[in-house]
């Protein structure tokens, strides 16, 4: 078995219509460079549409499979076998051919390529962009069992082809995206919990200040100054003598306005905690 050189490749393509449409400038270094066809299916697409609008591009996200067809119709005579690959410029971006590497003798039709984007970035292809390569090699004799004739429907991306690839792909890029989303959700829930605790704490401080002031204030208002003499009370013809504290009993004098100080301090503390919570919420966004 010997591979064809560029001159033989060009001569056979013109004589036997091995590549249709044929363009001589695409026969280089013993290989013919095939272009991207007008159909594609990507596993990340939600619909099953495979036909591409004119002049549109094919975008393959990281970690996704894609089914492509060639722009040209390829024919391999029964006396030869062909080998296919992807140009190095595209392979270096992470595009891997997972469908096969040869074309059987007797095959005629558009080639289908199942590829996988193993890179970290999107791979964008133009229609008719030269990314596939095909080499021909001679057999020692014509094969007695050439590839059967391909129906026209098999030269397009069929529903069977789509069914084989369709489904969720657990790629490293997709798993990383899910982990990042989960980390973001956990962070949001953590900040929400911390803010709730901060709000509850501020409300508790404010409630304690109000309750403490409400319970203590009546005692402040009822306190009397023992240094001031208590006058007698006249009721008609009778005079009630003043009541003095028993001997030895001490009266604790607490300023009546101290309760308002405690209430003000509690209110200021609660307002400060609430303001701090709002500031923390703004920084967490």
- Same domain? 210 vs 279: yes
Q: Is the pLDDT of residue 164 over 70?
A: yes
Residues in contact with 40: Cβ distance below 8 Å, sequence separation at least 6, in sequence order: 50, 52, 58, 66, 67, 68, 69, 157
pLDDT interval class at 130 (50, 70, 90): very high
**Domain containing 267: what range?**
174-284
Residue 1 lies in a domain: no
> Cα–Cα distance between 119 and 136 in angstroms, integer?
30
Whether residue 192 is preceded by a cis peptide bond, meaning omega within 30 degrees of 0, is no
- Same domain? 127 vs 145: yes
Weakest mean pLDDT among 101-115, 198-212, 245-259: 245-259
Q: Is the pLDDT of residue 244 over 60?
A: no
- Same domain? 97 vs 143: yes
Q: What is the pLDDT of residue 48?
A: 75
Last residue of a domain, one of 169, 192, 224: 169
Look at the chain and report how many structural domains it folds into: 2
| CB-based contact 138:79 (threshold 8 Å) | yes
Q: Is the pLDDT of residue 272 over 90?
A: no
- Same domain? 179 vs 271: yes
pLDDT interval class at 101 (50, 70, 90): very high
- Same domain? 99 vs 139: yes
- 216 versus 16: which is more confidently predicted? 16
- Cα angle at 149 between 158 and 96, to 5 degrees? 50
pLDDT in tens, 65-97: 999 999 999 999 999 999 999 999 999 999 999
Q: What is the pLDDT of residue 38?
A: 93
- Same domain? 82 vs 115: yes
Last residue of a domain, one of 169, 184, 219: 169
- 188 versus 94: which is more confidently predicted? 94
- Same domain? 125 vs 184: no
**pTM to 2 decimals?**
0.61
- 208 versus 61: which is more confidently predicted? 61
Residue 39 lies in a domain: yes
Q: What is the pLDDT of residue 158?
A: 84
- Same domain? 70 vs 133: yes
Weakest mean pLDDT among 14-18, 62-66, 190-194: 190-194
- Same domain? 153 vs 230: no
Within the chain, residue ranges assigned H as helices are 6-16, 88-91, 159-165, 172-221, 258-284
Weakest mean pLDDT among 26-40, 96-110, 229-243: 229-243
- Same domain? 133 vs 199: no
pLDDT in tens, 12-61: 999 999 999 999 999 999 999 999 999 999 988 877 778 888 889 999 99
Whether residue 82 is preceded by a cis peptide bond, meaning omega within 30 degrees of 0, is no
Q: What are phi and psi of 204, to 5 degrees?
A: -65, -45
- 121 versus 189: which is more confidently predicted? 121
Q: How many CB atoms lie within 10 A of CB 33?
A: 19
Last residue of a domain, one of 121, 151, 169: 169
pLDDT interval class at 185 (50, 70, 90): confident
| Residue 144: strand, helix, or coil | coil
| CB-based contact 134:84 (threshold 8 Å) | yes
Residue 11 lies in a domain: yes
- DSSP letter at 17 equals -
- Same domain? 77 vs 131: yes
- Same domain? 29 vs 146: yes
What CATH number is associated with residue 165?
2.70.40.10
């Amino acid at each position: 078995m010997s591979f064809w050189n560029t001159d033989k490749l060009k001569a056979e393509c013109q004589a036997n219509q091995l590549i249709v449409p044929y363009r001589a400038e695409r026969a280089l270094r013993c290989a013919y460079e095939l272009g991207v066809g007008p159909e594609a299916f990507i596993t990340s697409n939600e619909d099953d549409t495979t036909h591409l609008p004119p002049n549109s591009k094919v975008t393959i996200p990281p970690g996704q499979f894609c089914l492509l067809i060639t722009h040209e119709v390829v024919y391999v005579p029964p006396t030869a076998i062909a080998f296919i690959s992807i140009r190095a410029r595209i392979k270096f971006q992470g595009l891997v051919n997972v469908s096969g590497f040869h074309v059987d003798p007797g095959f005629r039709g558009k080639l289908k390529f199942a590829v996988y984007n193993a890179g970290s970035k999107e791979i964008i292809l133009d229609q008719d962009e030269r990314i596939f390569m095909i080499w021909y090699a001679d057999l020692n004799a014509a094969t007695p069992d050439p590839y059967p004739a391909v129906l026209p429907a098999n030269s397009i991306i069929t529903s069977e082809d789509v069914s084989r690839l369709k489904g969720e792909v657990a790629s490293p890029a997709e798993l990383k995206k899910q982990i990042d989303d989960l980390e973001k959700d956990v962070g949001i829930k953590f900040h929400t919990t911390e803010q709730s605790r901060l709000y509850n704490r501020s409300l508790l401080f404010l409630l304690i200040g109000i309750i403490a002031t409400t319970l203590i204030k009546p005692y402040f208002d009822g306190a009397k100054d023992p240094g001031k003499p208590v006058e007698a009370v006249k009721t008609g013809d009778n005079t009630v003598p003043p009541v003095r504290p028993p001997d030895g009993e001490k009266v604790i004098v607490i300023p009546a306005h101290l309760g308002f100080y405690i209430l003000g301090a509690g209110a200021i503390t609660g307002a400060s905690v609430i303001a701090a919570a709002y500031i923390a919420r703004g920084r967490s966004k």
